Every structure is written in structure tokens, then in C-alpha cells.
Structure 1
Amino acid sequence: MGKTNRSKFLLFLIISFVLILAACSGDDKAKDSGSDKGAEGGDEKKDGMYSIDDFSNVKTNEGEAIDGGTITFGLVSDTVFEGTLNWNFYSGAPDAEILNWFDEGLLTWDENYVYTNDGAATYEVSEDGRTFTFEIGDNVNWHDGEPVTAEDWQFAHEVIGNKDYDGPRYNSDFTNIEGMEEYNSGSADTISGIEVVDEKTLKITYIESTPSLLTGSIWSYPLAKHIFGDMAVADISSSPEVRQNPIGFGPFKVDSIIPGESVTLTKNDDYWRGAPKLDGVTVKVIGSSTVVQELETGGVDLISDFPVDQFPDNAEMSNVEYLGTIDRAYTYIGFKLGTWDAEKNVVAPNPDAKMGDVELRQAMWSAVDNTAVGERFYNGLRWNATTLIPPSHPEFHDDKNEGRTYDPEAAMKLLDDAGYVDTDDDGFREDPEGNPLEINFISMTGGDTAEPLAQYYVQSWEKVGLKVNLEMLEFNTFYDRVGNGGEDDPEVDVFQAAWGVGIDVDPSGLYGAEALYNFARWENEDNERLLKEGRSPEAFDLAYRQDVYNEWQQLMVDEVPVFPTLYRALLSPVNNRVLNYAIGDGTGVYLSDLAVSKEEAVKAE
């Protein structure tokens, strides 16, 4: 790729709770007192507010590294992890937390989410921006010693593109590859746009050159063909090679698994970046109610996602340093508007969906006060979300768009005007045809805040006359009910969930008509147009792409197939003995750099 063309590619980059809320004033603001030092890395505020800006994302090293040593990583979850331990098939965040330790993508990215040539593979791009040539390093090997090959990378695309594939990855990122749709339909035996040049060289040609190709839409996770090549595609995700004996090429390799509870890993001496400094890592599931105890006693050395509602009471824990960054994530409320067509792999809208009235959805957003939730329940470490592109992507997050502000009077007017009125004087509104309206709402268990928070939303909606029935579900059951396996529970009308967004700003994988993760099952012509425009060659112009995504953010505010509730600070407490650890993107600190200064974890005083 020429220097001018490469420059063009880079231009665009760069509960009791209810009582608490009742006491909230809409004018409450966080006040920085400038006094009272709190946690290491954070300043405590007199009114109990904190800011993500008060934290560093890189650990302060204390002492000198010893040779070897092991650490324990706490995976905070109030349910077991599913155990689909392969990037090509996993769907839940707990599995991803485990995968990060032993497997990785072939490409890495910088702090601006741009692919670099510092990863396990390098790349070059053709002058027209459509053909990428990848070169896998000669020292990049699977944990069993077999080289990671171009055929492994090609094989991952063939599996995801296979009609029998049962994972969530197949979407517009794949259909943009030449010949992929023909391969998926069965009219072609191979993917014409993917060529194995030699053992370590792969060439992929895309239909359209898009800016997303440099910021996350390239699938960079190979699949070991020498292990999975003879398996039926439909059998891979449930195979022992995924569930009990997973393989990768990352810094640590899986030694043993207690299903749903823990994973023990040992160092990979053959890791391409060099042998890890640690001898091993244990990943163990810990409940949200035991996080603090585990940290104080040294039962775990670090946690990647500390429950921020517990931070104020534990900000001065003496044996840890809290790291913090803006999470590439948000929580949201979603409305069921259709089902998933598993045959066609597309959304099938339901014109008679209970939540199909846009005024009903708009009213339900206006009825909830997420500013109060963030300030009084999360002490400012989660805050009111306005659009579906979070501030973790500052170039594209429209900070001028206020979303739908808290206004219960406006919510009631919307409902009145749309014909949702209380015709039998029972305190709850009927639908426009005069039929009883009951809305079934599901949310996830987890920590002390989960059910009170869900109850707050229920009570907020009741205050504007809507009868909402709440059901709390554990993580895996929740996602089964909401449609993660492609089967949508018809009893679910509204759900509360969270998204961890990718490094690429393109929201097609969550809200496109071909995205399994489009759990609202919403389809809209303007949505599809804007998503396409955001991936178009014209979108290499940063201003153009910003305008497209600003329009898309406003469309989602207007149509409300889902609405964001809270943006999130990611807090990671790290034991004082741990060295060389960082969170966030583009830090240049890798898991193979991790070390410890003491044999045993430091305990709180």
C-alpha cells in the first residue's frame, strides 16, 4: 500500500435504592473538594463522588521481580462460566476473560484502535484497499508445538462461514469477503476471496474497502486445523477440544479445568513474545459478595472488573492499587420487536410485537433517571448514558446528543397521546385497543445492586402507569432466554443487559439485521443505510464518518429499539506484589510481562 493510501486509511482514526433515589435532587453535582486522599490512584470526594479521571491504568511497581511465581486472577461472576473456550465460538464475557490468558488474535492494535504490525502477524494493503496480505511470524506456534499457519486462519473463516456454524460471529464483517456468501449458501466449495499463499502467508480480498478493516472488522483468530479439521462443524463448539482441553498460542497454556469454577494455566515457554515471567496463573470464579474478602486475604491477586458499587467502602484497602479506565461497554434496556430467522440468519421483525409502538418505548426511556442511578448507586463510577456509541470511542461518541432526558411528565404525555390510558381505574394503563397491558421484563442476577436496580426500573415504569413483571435470571439462562442461541423466548418483552463493544466503532455486529446479537430483533431501512454508509469507502473521510454515526446515534434515540442506561468505569484492584500490569488499550504492557515481587500475595492490614 502506498504512503498516500495508507495515510487515507489512518486519517479517520484517532433498590434501599428506591429510597435513595427518592432523596436525589436533579441538581446534584459531583464536587471536587481537593482533599482526603482515597484509594491509591483515586481522590475521595466529600460527597462520595468519584471520577474515572482520578485513576491510572498502569500499575505502579513496588519492589523487584522474583524469578517465576504464580498469581490468582479473580473472575467475578455469580454464576459458573459456560466454558466455550475458543474465540471462534464463545459468546459470554466470562469465557473471554479466560481466553485472554491463553489465546489471542494474530493482530494487535494501538491506543487509537488501529491495527499495527507489532502482533503475531503483520499486514500489507493493496492500493485499492481491498486486499490484505498477512504474514504470520515463524515463531508463532500452537501450545502443542504445531505452527500457526495460514491454513488455520483460512479454516477459521471457513468454519464461521459454514451453514452449520452455531456461534455468533457470522455477520457483515464476513459477508464483505469475496465469495463468502456463495460459500455460506452452499453454491461454492471454497471462499474465493481467501488465498493461502504459503504456510505463513494469507491473502484476503474484501468486496468493499472500509475504514473498519483497520480497526477491528478483520477476523484475526485462527482455528487449529490439525485438531478441528476432521470434525463436523456443528460438533466443534461442544467438543472436548473446546470445553476440556482448549488450545491457543498465547502466553499461558491450559493445564486443568474444573468446569465452571476454575482454570489452571502454566507458562508457555514457546510464546512468540518470549517466555512469560510468571510460572503460571489460576483463574477462579468468585462471587460478587466475596470479592473484598478475597482481595483482603490475598485469595486473588487481581480482578479485571471490580464491582464499582463496592468501591467507596473499600477505596483505602491497603494491599491493592486500583487501576481504572473508561470501559468499552454500556448497560442498556432492550425491547423485543421480532425473532431470529435461523435459516436465513437474519432478523424477522414482528409487526404485532407488544413493544412495537415507538411512543411506548420512548416513554419507558424518559421514565427512568439514570443520572441518579449513577451518582447515588455507583458514586459517579457509572454515569448516565446518552447514545449507543460510548465515550470509549471519543471521535465518534456524540457528546452533544443528550439522548432522552429524565422526564416522567413527558413520558405520561407520550403514553396518553399514543392511546395507552387507564380505562378501568386500577392504576395501570391498557393498550390502545383497551386490552390489559402487562410487560414481562427480565434482568440478570449478580451482586447486591442487580435486583434493586431492576426493581427501580419497574417502579419507575409503574409511576407512569405501566405494569411490568420482573424476573431475575442467572447469566447463562438470561442469554438463553433473550436469544443468544437463536431461539427467542416469546414471553420476554423487555430485558436489561450490557454490551462490551469491540475496538471498531461500527455497530453493525450489534444492531445490523444480520447480527445474532441484535437481541431486540429490530430492522429498519435507515438503520441499514447508515450502517452501510459507515463502512463505505467514503467513510475514510473522518468528518463524513462522524456525520454518519451522529445521524445513527440520533436515529436510535428516536426509534429506541434499545436505550443505553449507564456508561461504565472499569476498575481493576491489583495486589501490591504484582508488577507490570495495565488495563485498557495500547499500553504496550502484555500478560507475558506480568511478574511478582513476593512469593505470597500481600494481605490487607
Structure 2
Amino acid sequence: MKKFDRTKKKTALLASTTAVVLALAACSGGSDSDGGNSSDGGGTSDGDSEETDEPMFSIDDFEVIKGDNGEDIIDGGSLKVALVTDTPFEGTLNYNFYQGTFDAQVLQWFDESLLAVDENYTYTQEGAATFEINEDGDVFTFTINENANWHDGEPVTAEDWAFAFEVLGNEDYPATRYTEASNVQGFNEFRAGEADEISGLNIIDDKTLEITFTEANPSLLASGIWAYPMPKHIFEDIPVADMESSPEVRQNPIGFGAFKVDSITPGEAVVFKKNEDYWRGEPNLDEVVLSLANPQVITQSLENGDVDIAVYPTDQYKDNYENLTNVEFLGITDLAYTYIGFQMGTWEDNKNVFNPDKQISDIELRKAMAYAVDNTTVANKFYDGLRWAGTTLIPPSHPDYHDDTIEGYSYDLEKAKQILADAGYEDTNGDGFVEDPNGEELTLNFASMSGGDTAEPIANYYIQAWKAAGINVELLDGRLQEFNTFYDRLEAADQEIDVYQGAWGVGSDVDPTGLWGSEAAYNYTRWTDEKNDELLARGVSQEALDVTKRQEIYSEWQEYMVEQIPAFPTLYRSELTAVNNRVVNFAPFRSSGTEVYLNELGVTSEDPETAN
């Protein structure tokens, strides 16, 4: 019997506030996102506001760690975890191949990075691999913990780590993670078929790997090193082109984390058993059962004790938090933002090809569309302070680099109309919608994802807001797109898409190259620009080793992206996790530097507490 405490309990704060209220006819009925207290944006479409006693919340109201509940941890126990989505997870259960956020939420239970980070997302010596750095800062020597073993009992080796780089660099590698390894000396030459090996990898012994990088840069210590090995003894005889679809990834994946996969119901559920040989120590729990839970029923599942842990839809929090007496809500500032992107080109030969002739490639049209939407009101209406209007493409999850002096695009309908008029957009046939400067009909297709109560009303709001400015925007195919379909079409640069509402997890490294660089596969706008690439390159150069200089570079980049507007952020986000009162020693996976690990996770009773 054990007792463990890492944090004191804090009483959540609740404040009455003056909220901006907007009667969004298109948004009536529904909610499913997270909301915001923002000083940017503003006003309502009719300029009216009213006093309200409805509670507004702040991410500062929540603890990050679920610590001691005053009772002893029992030996063993089974934990029930919800994957809150109406979409089956894809089941690509290997860090070197996965794409979607839901697969990542499965992976984090049984596999992990070799490198740990602190609260500033900087590598520490607390992970399964420790490291030394040469004086020039471009050569790292990693030592893997002697007790780090794969779930089949084989040791995690330096060769396994080097093998992961070789897979990423293989010409048949089908995913996009290779960009995250391109800073290793000789990697790009290996991937191009110009070398038989990656010159920057040096296996010193079974547990020691030396990596030479192309140059010292500030991103190396900020999650800028690919730290996910692959068990070579399992994958070495599988052609790289077949790995992603192989049973070793889909049906029988292994890792070296605290739990190991026992069974998988494809797309729906995974049962994990404890890894008694976990390098940090044997886990308290015997079992974790992860299964899909529709956002529509997650509150009831939590109330009934059918779920112990769930990332909770923030748009449901205000209406339900008082009744969920059997759970504690943890909160973090999300490493993510939602955004409106403009699809302006194609993806060809592993690079973006910008098409300046597309109607949406007109920068004035994009600016008008940004001014036409009121993200502050969307945030307040649907998220009650738990999302807030975005301003730049570096979110406040990185406070050292997010430039809060940049205003971005606040709501101004008249300005939107004036921009269109000045650029030659006018309604020539009296239908209420402008034609483009060439006199051609302007009808834009808008792609947005399904999922939760607010997905449809928010998408409808944006469409109506653009129509109020005289821009005819229609929902792609007349409906919301299912998660996997939505991203499949963006990855393929589907030319039917003109505008889309997406969301990005930005990762712990502030470097935005992987999302917005000219050669970034995830740059779904397909927009390219020399100055953009120049600023991104400077942000990871030796010049940027000076933190102050790097801040200046990224401030300039944020301002430039506001000016060029290939995309604009709509909402910054908080993430809430509901945790049953019987659970102790848990921190959300995307929190950093908590030093709370999965082997310490436990429960204080056999059965979950209910709210009834």
C-alpha cells in the first residue's frame, strides 16, 4: 500500500465578468469547442454588449497535476480512459509513422521519447537517454538507460535509434516525419540516394549513440532531436514501404513504455497491461482500458464512473462542471491553435507549389476574409474563457516567443468591405455577392471538420460572416468532413478546397518550419515565399543561439505572416482533462516538466467514484 503526493489542491476560481454577447443566428443551438478572454478582436456584429452574470473561466483556475486524494494507492487496479471522438482512430501505432492526434493519444500509453523535457520544453537528463554535448554544440553523445527494454524483453539499443533515422530517410518512407530528422549530418544525402549511410550517426556501443548535426542551433535542445527508436529486430526484414500497414504497427505494436498492448479492437479500443520491466519501475496499475467515447455522451460516462480519465470538451464545461462532483478537472495551455487556412497551390515532388492564379491567392481577398470574422465573440459564446481569439501563428503556449504586441486581425466588417472595394471586388449582378476583379463569379469552397456540437454552428458562422462582407462561401460538398477525410484531402491538396478551418499542435519546439515552410508537407496552404523561408532559416541558425536575437527573428516572422496571411489563427486553446477522484499521480500528457510518470499512476479504490 502506497501513498503519494506531488501537488497541493487548489480551489478553482470563478469570476463574474462583462461578456460580449452576439446573437449569431447561424450559430444558435450547440456547443463543442473552447472559449476565450481576449483583449483582441472585439465587439459584436451590431455593436451591442450587455452585462451578464454567466461565469467565465481561465486556464489559471486549474491544477496541472492530480495528486494525493488522502487515501492509499491500492495494489493493481484497472483504469478506464476515454478517447473522446466520434471518429475511429486510424491505428498507425508507431511514432515514426503516425499522423493523427488520436493515434498519438493511444501511443502515449505504451511508448515514449527517449528524451524528457522540463517546463520550458528543454531536454533534461531525466529521460531514458542522457546526453553530453561538445563545445561547438553540434555533436551529442547519448547513453540509453541499461534498464530500457522493449516489451518483448529485448534491450532498446543505439542501433534501434539509428535504425529509426534510416527508416525516416528511406526513399520508400511514406509519411512526413523525415523533415524532423533532416538536421542530422548526411541525412538529406542518404534520403536523396547520394549516400549509403547517414554520416552523422555513430554507434559507439549497444547503449551509446553519437549524433552529429548539420549545425548548432537553438532547436536542438527544444525537442529538435528525433528521439523515437524502432526495434530493429522486429522491423529490419520488413520493406519500409510496407511497415506502416504491417501487423507490427497495426495489430501488435510494441514500445518501451509503462504499459504494453494486450489487445486492439481496430479503431475503437486498446487494452494495455502493465510492463513489469519498465525502466522507471513497475507500474502501480495492472491494466488500462482505452476506448472511444462520443463527445455527446462523455459527461454521462464520467458521471456514471464509466470513464476515469478523458480530455474534456471545453465547450461543455460551463454546463456540467458543477454536476461532475466525482471528478477533478486539470488544465493546461494547449500547444495548439485553430486557424483559417487558404489553399493556394499543390503538393508535387515533396514540395509545395504556389499557384498565384487561384482566386484565393489574392492577398486582399484573404485580408478581407480575416477582418470579416469575430473570433472574440465566437470564443466567448462557445468556450466561456477557455479559448480566446488568436493573433499570431506562434501561440501563447510559448510565452518567450509569442509576441502579444501584434494585434492580428480584429473584427471590422466595414474595413473588410472597403478592402474588397479598393481591390476591385464588386457586386456586378445585384445578387449580394462580389465578383472578382476580372468580373468572374467568386464562389469559395470551405472545408471544416465534423465533431461535437459546435463544429457545425461555428462553421456556419464563418460562412455567414463572409457572406455579410459580400463573399460567397459554401460548405465543401454541402457538409462537414469527417476527420480522416478532411486531412486526406488537405494532404492531397484537393483543388476543390479554397478555404479550410484546421487545427495545429505546434510541438514543444517553437520553430514553425514544419508547419509553414515552403517544403513542409503540413503547410496545407501550399503557399511559398522567399522571405518566409529566410526568416524561418534564421530562427534555427547559429545567430539564433542568442535567445534575444531569436525572439526578434520570430517577432518579425509573426508580423510578416500577419501581413502575408496565408492563414490566420482563430482561437488559442486550453485543454481540460477530467480525472476521477479515485485516480492519483496523473498529469496531462501534453503538460511538461511535471515529473509525474505513468508507473506512479494509481487508484485508491477498485471502483470509480460516481456523481450519483
Q: Same fold (TM over 0.5)?
A: yes
Say whether the 8 Å CA contact 1:30–1:49 is kept in structure 2: no
Residue 163 of structure 1 and its aligned partner are, at CA, apart by 1.4
Moved more, 279-288 or 54-63: 54-63
- Using the size of structure 1 for normalisation, the TM-score is 0.92
In structure 2, the residue matched to 1:460 is: 465
In structure 1, the residue matched to 2:524 is: 519
- What is the correspondence of 1:154-553 to structure 2 with a 5 Å cutoff? 154-171=162-179, 173-303=180-310, 305-316=311-322, 317-341=324-348, 343=349, 345-471=350-476, 472-483=480-491, 487-553=492-558
Residue 418 of structure 1 and its aligned partner are, at CA, apart by 1.2
Mapped to 2, the partners of 1:217 and 1:346 lie a distance apart of: 21
Residue 24 of structure 1 and its aligned partner are, at CA, apart by 7.3
Say whether the 8 Å CA contact 2:74–2:603 is kept in structure 1: yes
In structure 1, the residue matched to 2:119 is: 111
Match of 1:68 among 73, 76, 85: 76
Say whether the 8 Å CA contact 1:368–1:461 is kept in structure 2: yes
Mapped to 2, the partners of 1:332 and 1:169 lie a distance apart of: 22
Mapped to 1, the partners of 2:530 and 2:574 lie a distance apart of: 34
SS at match of 2:296: helix
- What is the correspondence of 1:35-184 to structure 2 with a 5 Å cutoff? 46-62=53-69, 63-171=71-179, 173-184=180-191
Say whether the 8 Å CA contact 2:518–2:527 is kept in structure 1: yes
Aligned in 2, Cα 1:282/1:212: closer, same or farther, shift over 3 Å? same
1:239-267: CA deviation from partner (whole Å, max 9, x where unpaired): 11101111100000000000010000000
In structure 1, the residue matched to 2:4 is: none
In structure 1, the residue matched to 2:33 is: none
Residue 19 of structure 1 and its aligned partner are, at CA, apart by 5.4
Residue 376 of structure 1 and its aligned partner are, at CA, apart by 1.3
- Using the size of structure 2 for normalisation, the TM-score is 0.91
SS at match of 1:434: coil
SS at match of 2:109: helix
Which aligned runs of 4 or more in structure 1 are off by greater than 4 angstroms?
A: 19-31
SS at match of 1:373: helix
SS at match of 2:315: helix
In structure 1, the residue matched to 2:565 is: 560
Aligned in 2, Cα 1:16/1:293: closer, same or farther, shift over 3 Å? farther
Mapped to 2, the partners of 1:223 and 1:309 lie a distance apart of: 38
Mapped to 2, the partners of 1:164 and 1:93 lie a distance apart of: 23
Mapped to 1, the partners of 2:246 and 2:424 lie a distance apart of: 52
Mapped to 1, the partners of 2:369 and 2:335 lie a distance apart of: 25
Aligned in 2, Cα 1:254/1:19: closer, same or farther, shift over 3 Å? closer
Mapped to 2, the partners of 1:566 and 1:272 lie a distance apart of: 39
Say whether the 8 Å CA contact 1:17–1:377 is kept in structure 2: no
Aligned in 2, Cα 1:320/1:543: closer, same or farther, shift over 3 Å? same
Residue 352 of structure 1 and its aligned partner are, at CA, apart by 1.5
Mapped to 2, the partners of 1:160 and 1:413 lie a distance apart of: 49
SS at match of 1:462: helix
Mapped to 1, the partners of 2:452 and 2:409 lie a distance apart of: 28
What letter corresponds to residue 296 of structure 2 in structure 1? S
Residue 311 of structure 1 and its aligned partner are, at CA, apart by 0.4
Identity %: 56
Residue 509 of structure 1 and its aligned partner are, at CA, apart by 0.8
Say whether the 8 Å CA contact 1:26–1:372 is kept in structure 2: no
Aligned in 2, Cα 1:462/1:16: closer, same or farther, shift over 3 Å? closer
Mapped to 1, the partners of 2:26 and 2:92 lie a distance apart of: 36
1:467-494: CA deviation from partner (whole Å, max 9, x where unpaired): 11113111101101111xxx22110111
Say whether the 8 Å CA contact 2:28–2:457 is kept in structure 1: no
What letter corresponds to residue 382 of structure 1 in structure 2? R
Say whether the 8 Å CA contact 1:123–1:134 is kept in structure 2: yes
Mapped to 2, the partners of 1:458 and 1:375 lie a distance apart of: 19
Aligned in 2, Cα 1:244/1:49: closer, same or farther, shift over 3 Å? same
In structure 1, the residue matched to 2:34 is: none
Say whether the 8 Å CA contact 1:16–1:452 is kept in structure 2: no
1:485-508: CA deviation from partner (whole Å, max 9, x where unpaired): xx2211011111111111000001
Check if 1:578 corresponds to 2:578.
no
Mapped to 2, the partners of 1:318 and 1:529 lie a distance apart of: 52
What letter corresponds to residue 509 of structure 2 in structure 1? D
SS at match of 1:397: coil
Residue 224 of structure 1 and its aligned partner are, at CA, apart by 1.0
Q: Name the Cα RMSD after superposition.
A: 1.6
What letter corresponds to residue 500 of structure 1 in structure 2? G
Aligned in 2, Cα 1:320/1:261: closer, same or farther, shift over 3 Å? same
SS at match of 1:372: helix
What letter corresponds to residue 54 of structure 1 in structure 2? D
Q: Structure 2: which 5+ runs fail to align? A: 1-23, 30-41
Aligned in 2, Cα 1:28/1:72: closer, same or farther, shift over 3 Å? farther
Mapped to 2, the partners of 1:261 and 1:455 lie a distance apart of: 30
Residue 272 of structure 1 and its aligned partner are, at CA, apart by 0.4
Q: Structure 1: which 5+ runs fail to align? A: 1-14, 32-45
Residue 28 of structure 1 and its aligned partner are, at CA, apart by 5.7
Say whether the 8 Å CA contact 2:26–2:464 is kept in structure 1: no
Residue 354 of structure 1 and its aligned partner are, at CA, apart by 2.4
SS at match of 1:274: coil
Residue 337 of structure 1 and its aligned partner are, at CA, apart by 1.2
What letter corresponds to residue 291 of structure 1 in structure 2? I
